[in-house]
Structure formats: structure tokens, C-alpha cells
């Protein structure tokens, strides 16, 4: 009798033991064809892989430098999920039976060897997967797994990464879970050299008017060569809470000797936010990477250098339109059909439109550069005129949830229909751009 009860309990637990796998996926479950194409639906049954467009598994990695450790990130998302898991493998593209590089276990990731055992795996293929603690039971939203990876030796060539992600429903069984698969190919990066720039390499964001004047919290585009050997923009994992990163992939920038906040890096361009405390007058901008520092790029520090979003594709009919949005956040201000690729119409008196700016300077309360904005920090003495007519500015301040972006909500005054010149000032400092908007009847 006791033996029958024991085996009954064991058999009833088998589905959870065999299929739930909260302690990590069995090997060869990424969906890679070389491993038989098997993915996590082999255990989490009921839905096919990649069951709907609302979810995904995404691999984030950059071209590798042989032997230089980098972090590969696997993101798993589905709006209905409340528990998470993943598996990742790295193979040589020229022979996918051969592993590429070495994964390092951490507090959230274990590394299993193929055909068996745990890391170190020697020459055996490797699979990084979650641990029980990193399934985040009950946590909704996006799950991100960080896997440290030491790339293979020089001459290996292209590497392919395969991943499966489990966006589970936390229901305690293997049913109802959503499995997603993905792959990413990366190459060996070129040799890193000292960054090369010229005196005119740095400008304020060109889509906001450009120029050489920069204020704390404004943005700089830097152009050159050998700035880095990878390309990427900052991501949520680069932030420390609400604070933006001061380097990406080993690339840093100083403005007046202070560390800037690095948003985007590529071999030919780096975008950064200007730090606080740069002072006024001449300042030098310097790019550094692991091979050394660039020459100085001369710019000028000012208290405020407001520029309105007005990119080249809004330069139509011989005039530069400001990017102005209606409250639906879809329709732009302009004559119908005149701006390629967007819906537009003239604004009418009494309607509220929104403009976006950078470089407008200090707010009350103050918000440090490189910080995600919360609340509604306001600018002082912001004015907008449509021709000679003053407009009511219902909000002028930093845009909540953004970094270094300002928002002006403006009520269109009663002016004659047609093209109207915009004049904008912040605390007496005028926007230097020549901007137009369109008013209708």
C-alpha cells in the first residue's frame, strides 16, 4: 500500500518535473536547425513556437573582439506573461556543430554542456539558461537576461547566436506558455584605432538647428573615424536607475573635462548629452576609446541654446516647418500632403499644438543632465509668437519620461490663415532657426 501511494505521488508529479523546468531548460532547446530544430515547446506544450506578434525573444550583442568579454542580453516579452525563462547558444557559422566562445555562469544564469554536465565545458557545446530565482515568478512585463560571453579566437569568423524565450503564464503547469525563438549573426570587429576627428566634427543636434553653441543638458553629434568598431544605442540595461550611461562599448566623451552621457556609438558617429557644469565660453570635446583619445573639438558653452525639432524632411516649399503635433500625437501641422510620409493639416486658432526642443537650459525644479525626467520641471519666461501675435504657452518644460527633451504646448492665436513665422525665446534667448508653421481657417 505504501509503495503504491509513493509511486502514485511520483507519477502525479512527473508532468511538473519533466515539463515545468523552472530550474533551466534541457539542452538543445533554442530551435537551431543544427540541433534538430527543437525548442521549448517540446516541454511547454499547447501553443506553437512564436504564437503571436505581441511577444518576442530578442538577442542583443555587438560584433566581437577575439577574447574580449562582452555581455549578450536576451530579452523576453509578452504582455500576458508572468514568469520567464530562456536558453542561448553560440556557434561558429562555418560549422554550427562547433561552439563559439565561452559563457560564464552568474547569479541568474547557469551554463550546461552538451552532451552533459555543467560549465566549464571544454570543447563541448554550451547552453546558457535561467535559474529558478531568475524566472521572476509573478513579475509581468519584460525580462532581460545578461550572459557574459568570452568570444572565440581570431579567425573564427562569423558567429551565430540562437535563443529561445519562455513567456509563461505562471499557472504551475506546462500549458498556456508562449515560446519565442530568434537568432543573430555577429562578426569579428575590426582592429580598434585611436579616434580621429577634426575641428568641425562636433555640432549640436542638426535636426534641432545644429550649430556650435551647447548648453548643459543639450545634445552633440560627433563625426569622425575609428570612434569605435561597433554600432549600438543605449538600452535600458545601460542605465543605473534613472541615470544614463557615461560610456558605451568602451567609448566615452568629455565636454570641458566632464563626462558626457553617451547615447549612440558607431565607427563614424557618437551622440552624447552635454553634462552639467561646463561653464560658458570655449570648451573642448574629446572622444576616447580603448586605443586612446581624439584631438580636441572646439565648441562654445552657453547657459541656453534652444533649438526646435525641425529636420530636413520638414523643409518643404522653400521653408523650414517646425515639427508641431496635434493632441492625437499622429497628425502634424502643415498643408495636407506636403510632408512626405506623414499626415498633416493646418492648425486652427484655439487648438493646442506641441513643439519639441533641446538645449533650452535649466528648469525649476532643476533636473541633472543624464537623468530620466519625472514630474513637470518648468522653464522660466518662455514665449512663442505667431508672426506678431503672442501665443499662450500652456506648458514649457522638460518632457516627462525623456532625457534632455523639452516640450512646449502652445495655443494657436487668432492670426490670418497661411504660412506664419514662429519666434520662440527662453528666458530672453531666442531660437536661432527660421521656422514656419501653417494656420488655417
The rounded percent of the chain whose pLDDT value lies above 70 is 95
Whether residue 68 is contained in a domain is answered as yes
Residues 6+ apart with CB under 8 A from 99: 89, 90, 91, 92, 121, 123, 124, 125, 126
Q: Using pLDDT thresholds of 50, 70 and 90, give the confidence band for residue 141.
A: confident
Identify the pLDDT of residue 24.
Answer: 83
101 and 11 within one domain = yes
CA atoms within 13 A on the CB side of 389: 15
The rounded percent of the chain whose pLDDT value lies above 90 is 90
Identify the pLDDT of residue 22.
Answer: 61
**CATH number of 330's domain:** 2.60.40.10
Residues 6+ apart with CB under 8 A from 148: 69, 70, 71, 72, 103, 104, 106
pLDDT tens, position by position, 26-48: 999 999 999 999 999 999 988 99
Q: What is the average per-residue pLDDT within 410-419?
A: 98
174 and 40 within one domain = yes
- Our count of domains for the chain comes to 3
Residues 6+ apart with CB under 8 A from 328: none
pTM of the model: 0.83
Q: What is the average per-residue pLDDT within 419-434?
A: 98
Q: Is the pLDDT score of 9 beyond 90?
A: no
Q: Whose CA is closest to 235, among 59, 54, 52?
A: 59
Q: Whose CA is closest to 88, among 128, 125, 138, 133?
A: 128
316 and 293 within one domain = no
Identify the pLDDT of residue 114.
Answer: 97
Q: What is the average per-residue pLDDT within 99-115?
A: 97
256 and 127 within one domain = no
80 and 116 within one domain = yes
Whether residue 421 is contained in a domain is answered as yes
262 and 171 within one domain = no
Give the separation between CA 201 and CA 296, rounded to whole angstroms. Answer: 10
Whether residue 194 is contained in a domain is answered as no
Q: To which H or E segment does residue 8 belong?
A: helix 2-15
pLDDT tens, position by position, 319-361: 999 999 999 999 999 999 999 999 999 999 999 999 999 999 9
Q: Is the pLDDT score of 176 beyond 90?
A: no
pLDDT tens, position by position, 280-312: 999 999 999 999 999 999 999 999 999 999 999
277 and 182 within one domain = no
* Residue at which a domain ends, from 186, 212, 230: 186
Identify the pLDDT of residue 174.
Answer: 80
Whether residue 54 is contained in a domain is answered as yes
Q: Do 100 and 116 form a contact (C-beta atoms < 8 A)?
A: no
Whether residue 149 is contained in a domain is answered as yes
Whether residue 192 is contained in a domain is answered as no
Whether residue 163 is contained in a domain is answered as yes
* Residue at which a domain ends, from 186, 214, 235: 186
For the chain, give the number of residues: 441
DSSP assignment of 184-238: EEE-BPPPP---B--TT-EEE-GGGT--SEE-TT-EEEEE-BSS-S--EE--GGG
Measured at the alpha carbon of residue 433, what is the angle toward residues 430 and 436, in degrees to the nearest 5? Answer: 110
Q: Which residues of 403-435 are buried (b: 16+ CB within 10 A; e: fewer)?
A: bbbbbbbbebbebeeebbebbbebeebebebeb
Question: Other C-beta atoms within 10 Å of 241: how many?
Answer: 6
- What is the torsional sign of CA 349, 352, 353, 356? positive
Give the separation between CA 433 and CA 299, rounded to whole angstroms. Answer: 19
Rounded to the nearest integer, the mean pLDDT of the chain is 93
177 and 212 within one domain = no
* Residue at which a domain ends, from 186, 220, 238: 186
Q: Using pLDDT thresholds of 50, 70 and 90, give the confidence band for residue 423.
A: very high
211 and 68 within one domain = no
pLDDT tens, position by position, 218-277: 999 999 999 999 999 999 999 999 999 999 999 999 999 999 999 999 999 999 999 999
431 and 324 within one domain = yes
Where in the sequence is the domain holding 361, given as residue range(s)?
Answer: 307-439
Q: What is the average per-residue pLDDT within 208-221?
A: 98
pLDDT tens, position by position, 56-71: 999 999 999 999 999 9
Give the separation between CA 15 and CA 347, rounded to whole angstroms. Answer: 62
166 and 18 within one domain = yes
Q: What is the average per-residue pLDDT within 75-83?
A: 96
Q: Is the pLDDT score of 15 beyond 70?
A: no
14 and 158 within one domain = yes
Whether residue 143 is contained in a domain is answered as yes
Amino acid at each position: 500500500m505504501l509503495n503504491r501511494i509513493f509511486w502514485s505521488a511520483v507519477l502525479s508529479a512527473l508532468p511538473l518535473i519533466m515539463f515545468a523546468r523552472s530550474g533551466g531548460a534541457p539542452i538543445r532547446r533554442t530551435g537551431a536547425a543544427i540541433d534538430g530544430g527543437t525548442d521549448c515547446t517540446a516541454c511547454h506544450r499547447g501553443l506553437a513556437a512564436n504564437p503571436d506578434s505581441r511577444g518576442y525573444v530578442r538577442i542583443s550583442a555587438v560584433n566581437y573582439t577575439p577574447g574580449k568579454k562582452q555581455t549578450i542580453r536576451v530579452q523576453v516579452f509578452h504582455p500576458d506573461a508572468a514568469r520567464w525563462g530562456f536558453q542561448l547558444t553560440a556557434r561558429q557559422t562555418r560549422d554550427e556543430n562547433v561552439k563559439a566562445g565561452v559563457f560564464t555562469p552568474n547569479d541568474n544564469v547557469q551554463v550546461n554542456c552538451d552532451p552533459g554536465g555543467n560549465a566549464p565545458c571544454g570543447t563541448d557545446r554550451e547552453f546558457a539558461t535561467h535559474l529558478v530565482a531568475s524566472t521572476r515568478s509573478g513579475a509581468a512585463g519584460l525580462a532581460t537576461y545578461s550572459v557574459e560571453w568570452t568570444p572565440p579566437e581570431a579567425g573564427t569568423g562569423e558567429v551565430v547566436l540562437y535563443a529561445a524565450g519562455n513567456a509563461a503564464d505562471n499557472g504551475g503547469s506546462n500549458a498556456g506558455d508562449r515560446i519565442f525563438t530568434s537568432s543573430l549573426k555577429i562578426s569579428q570587429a575590426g582592429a580598434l584605432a585611436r579616434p580621429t576627428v577634426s575641428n568641425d566634427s562636433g555640432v549640436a543636434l542638426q535636426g534641432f538647428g545644429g550649430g556650435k553653441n551647447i548648453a548643459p543638458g543639450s545634445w552633440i553629434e560627433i563625426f569622425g573615424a575609428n570612434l569605435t568598431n561597433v554600432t549600438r544605442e543605449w538600452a535600458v540595461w545601460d542605465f543605473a536607475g534613472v541615470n544614463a550611461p557615461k560610456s558605451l562599448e568602451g567609448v566615452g566623451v568629455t565636454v570641458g573635462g566632464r563626462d558626457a552621457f553617451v547615447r549612440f556609438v558607431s565607427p563614424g558617429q557618437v551622440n552624447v548629452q552635454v553634462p552639467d557644469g561646463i561653464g560658458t565660453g570655449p570648451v573642448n570635446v574629446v572622444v576616447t576609446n580603448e586605443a586612446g583619445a581624439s584631438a580636441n573639438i572646439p565648441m562654445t558653452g552657453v547657459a541656453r541654446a534652444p533649438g526646435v525639432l525641425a529636420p530636413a524632411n520638414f523643409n518643404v516649399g522653400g521653408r523650414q516647418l517646425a515639427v508641431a503635433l496635434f493632441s492625437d500625437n499622429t497628425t502634424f501641422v502643415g498643408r495636407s500632403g506636403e510632408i512626405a510620409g506623414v499626415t498633416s493639416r493646418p492648425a486652427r486658432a484655439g487648438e493646442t499644438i506641441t513643439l519639441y526642443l533641446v538645449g533650452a537650459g535649466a528648469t525649476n525644479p532643476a533636473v541633472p543632465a543624464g537623468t530620466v525626467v519625472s514630474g513637470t520641471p518648468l522653464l522660466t519666461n518662455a514665449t512663442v509668437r505667431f508672426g506678431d501675435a503672442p501665443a499662450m504657452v500652456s506648458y514649457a518644460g522638460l518632457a516627462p519620461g525623456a532625457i534632455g527633451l523639452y516640450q512646449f504646448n502652445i495655443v494657436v492665436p487668432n492670426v490670418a490663415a497661411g504660412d506664419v513665422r514662429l519666434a520662440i525665446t527662453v528666458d530672453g534667448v531666442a531660437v536661432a532657426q527660421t521656422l514656419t508653421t501653417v494656420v488655417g481657417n
